[in-house]
Amino acid sequence: MMKRKEFMLGAVAGLAFAAAATAGGVIDWPTAAAGPVAGVSGRLAPNAGGAGLAFAPPQGAPLSFADIFAQVAPAVVQIDVKTRIPRQPGMIQIPGTPFAIPNPNGRVPEGEDGEDGEGGATAMGAGSGFFIAANGFIVTNNHVVAEATEIMVKLADGRELEARLVGRDEATDLAVIKVEGSDFPFVNFEETAQPRVGDWVIAVGNPFGLGGTATAGIVSASGRGDIDSNTPYTDYLQIDAAINRGNSGGPTFDIYGRVIGVNSAIYSPTGGSVGIGFAIPATVAKPITDRLMRGESIARGYVGVGIQNLTREQIAALGQSETFTGAWVGQITPGGPAEKAGLQINDIITRMNGQPVRDRNDLTRRIGSVEPGQTIRLEVLRDGRLQTVNVRAGARPSQAELDADPAAPDTADREAPEGAGVSVGGLTVAPMSEVLRRRYSIPANINGLVVTGQDTVGELRFRPGFVITNGATGAIRTPADFEAAIAAARRADRKVFLVVWTPDQGSVPVAFDPPKPE
Active site residues: 143, 173, 248
Distances in Å between the alpha carbon of 514 and those of 458, 487, 497? 8, 10, 11
| Chain-centre distance for alpha carbon 260 | 20
Helix (H), strand (E) at residue 506: strand 506-512
**Are the beta carbons of 352 and 366 closer than 8 angstroms?**
yes
3-state SS string for 339-407: HHHCCCCCCEEEEECCEECCCHHHHHHHHHCCCCCCEEEEEEEECCEEEEEEEECEECCCHHHHHCCCC
**Are the beta carbons of 175 and 169 closer than 8 angstroms?**
yes
Question: How many angstroms separate the CA atoms of 249 and 151, rounded?
Answer: 14
Count CA atoms closer than 13 A to 206's CA, side-chain side.
29
Q: Which of 170, 244, 258, 171 is nearest to 214 (CA)?
A: 244
In sequence order, what DSSP letters do the residues of 429-476 get, joined into one string? EEE--HHHHHHTT--TT--SEEE-S-EEETTEEE-TT-EEEEESSSB-
Helix (H), strand (E) at residue 122: strand 121-131
**Are the beta carbons of 263 and 277 closer than 8 angstroms?**
yes
| Chain-centre distance for alpha carbon 86 | 24
Q: Which of 379, 364, 405 is nearest to 172 (CA)?
A: 364
Question: How many angstroms separate the CA atoms of 509 and 472, rounded?
Answer: 10
**Are the beta carbons of 244 and 272 closer than 8 angstroms?**
yes
**Are the beta carbons of 246 and 207 closer than 8 angstroms?**
yes
Q: C-alpha angle 62/64/69, rounded to 5°? A: 105
